Amino acid sequence: MADWLAALDRGAELRAEAGLTRTLRPRAADDAVVDLAGNDYLGLAAHPAVTAAATEALSRYGLGATGSRLVRGSTDLHHALEDELADWLGVDRALVFSSGYLANLAAVRGLAQPRTLLVSDAHNHASLIDGCRISRAETLVTPHGDVAAVAAALAAAPGRPAVVVTESVFSVDGDLAPLAELHAVARRHGALLLVDDAHALGVTGPAGAGGVAAAGLAGEPDVVVTATLSKALGGAGGVVAGPAEFVRHLVETGRTFIFDTAPPPAVVAGVHAAVRLARAGDAVRAELADRVALAVRRLGAAGLSVSAPDAAVVSVTAPGPEAATAWATACRERGVAVGCFRPPSTPDGRSRLRLTVGAGVDRAAFDRALDVIVECAREVAP
């Protein structure tokens, strides 16, 4: 009976030998670490207007939604948020889920009809990959950002329904997909375009409406957008946005919508307040862009291999998984939290530190954090 546990232990040993052990670290409310690992890009998670809206809703509605959206979980707060999101994104309708992961599973599965071909970027997030898998549709993975490869895949499947699946700003290196070009190719072949805008929403585009809006594709009838509400908006949940007919289809058939408990009303109210702030946050976005440019200059000048980010994700290459872990640990010990990405979380097998730049971090602390990252890099991999 214990053989299966022994097998798990052996798997853990092999991961440890490869430098791939993962550890949970509890964070206290008064944690003083400079946060360059979380996704609170605009500093809205603790904004007074956001917490006040959540607190007021908590006192009115209680802690949880108490049911799925189709049972008792849909409140007037959920519908008001969906209306605001649809207006912001320039689409017919938006549907809120309890996480971005579930939103992506629903979107991919909802678009995959019989004989559908899914053309998926090699650097897509795990939620999109899992969506392709559970859809049971044929999936062709194309090289990262390769429009010609997408065109060839669609051309090789004439007459078949197809969906091009991509992120806008990719979560590992922070680069932007060629959305306008992908849409042109998809439309030429009668395919749909599904874009996960998680790392772009609130950060790029007109009034922060994201990468799809920045590419001039908002409201196009052959484009579906997904995003999380947990990054620039500082809350929790996910959204699928697009044509009203598709949203209706998800309400009636989407398993991760129908059978999942609705997001808590307090979180929904807080996110709604955050959306209003984000839409009016051009000055904050300018500060964020300035910090990203500073990070790229400073780290690059120190001889580190740094990505050319299109939003607020900055990737810094590490020599290997063990070095990445040691580097991130050294930074944390000096009061700076950074992301540590190693295989299999990296689609190209390359380890790196991932810095998610936030405008809510004290500017002096941010400057010092860049120094710490450089100092620790020299100690770990001189």
CA distance 244 to 255: 18
Whether 295 and 370 have beta carbons less than 8 Å apart is answered as yes
Looking at the structure, do residues 256 and 315 belong to the same domain, yes or no? no
Looking at the structure, do residues 267 and 300 belong to the same domain, yes or no? no
Helices (H), 62-210: 76-89, 100-111, 126-135, 147-155, 179-188
Looking at the structure, do residues 291 and 216 belong to the same domain, yes or no? no
Specify the CATH number for the domain of residue 365: 3.90.1150.10
Looking at the structure, do residues 146 and 260 belong to the same domain, yes or no? yes
Looking at the structure, do residues 246 and 295 belong to the same domain, yes or no? no
Tell me, yes or no, whether 334 lies in a domain: yes
Q: Return the pLDDT at 382.
A: 55
The parent domain of residue 106 ranges over: 48-279
Under 8 Å CB-to-CB from 181, ≥6 apart: which residues? 147
Domain limit, last residue, from 279, 301, 318: 279
Q: Return the pLDDT at 155.
A: 98
Looking at the structure, do residues 134 and 255 belong to the same domain, yes or no? yes
Low-confidence ranges of the chain (pLDDT < 50): none
How many residues are given for the chain? Answer: 382
Tell me, yes or no, whether 13 lies in a domain: no
Looking at the structure, do residues 223 and 243 belong to the same domain, yes or no? yes
Looking at the structure, do residues 253 and 302 belong to the same domain, yes or no? no
Going by C-alpha positions, the residue among 374, 373, 325 that lies closest to residue 345 is 325
Total domain count, the chain: 2
Looking at the structure, do residues 313 and 243 belong to the same domain, yes or no? no
CA distance 225 to 365: 35
Q: Return the pLDDT at 1.
A: 56
Q: Return the pLDDT at 287.
A: 97
Whether 170 and 283 have beta carbons less than 8 Å apart is answered as no
Tell me, yes or no, whether 231 lies in a domain: yes
Q: Which CA distances in Å does 184 have to 47, 193, 222, 380?
A: 39, 10, 11, 46
CA distance 94 to 52: 24
Report the 10 Å Cβ neighbour count for 190: 13
CA distance 228 to 199: 8
Domain limit, last residue, from 227, 245, 279: 279
Tell me, yes or no, whether 326 lies in a domain: yes
Tell me, yes or no, whether 6 lies in a domain: no
301-333: pLDDT as tens digits: 999 999 999 999 999 999 988 899 999 999 999
> 323: number of CA atoms within 13 Å, CB side?
15
Domain limit, last residue, from 259, 279, 299: 279
Q: Return the pLDDT at 281.
A: 97
CA distance 318 to 350: 8
Looking at the structure, do residues 95 and 109 belong to the same domain, yes or no? yes
Specify the CATH number for the domain of residue 157: 3.40.640.10
Q: Which CA distances in Å does 53 have to 7, 43, 173, 202, 274?
A: 48, 16, 34, 19, 9
Q: Return the pLDDT at 381.
A: 66
Looking at the structure, do residues 198 and 248 belong to the same domain, yes or no? yes
Going by C-alpha positions, the residue among 256, 244, 229 that lies closest to residue 107 is 256
Looking at the structure, do residues 96 and 147 belong to the same domain, yes or no? yes
Tell me, yes or no, whether 22 lies in a domain: no
Tell me, yes or no, whether 316 lies in a domain: yes
The model's pTM? 0.95
Tell me, yes or no, whether 312 lies in a domain: yes
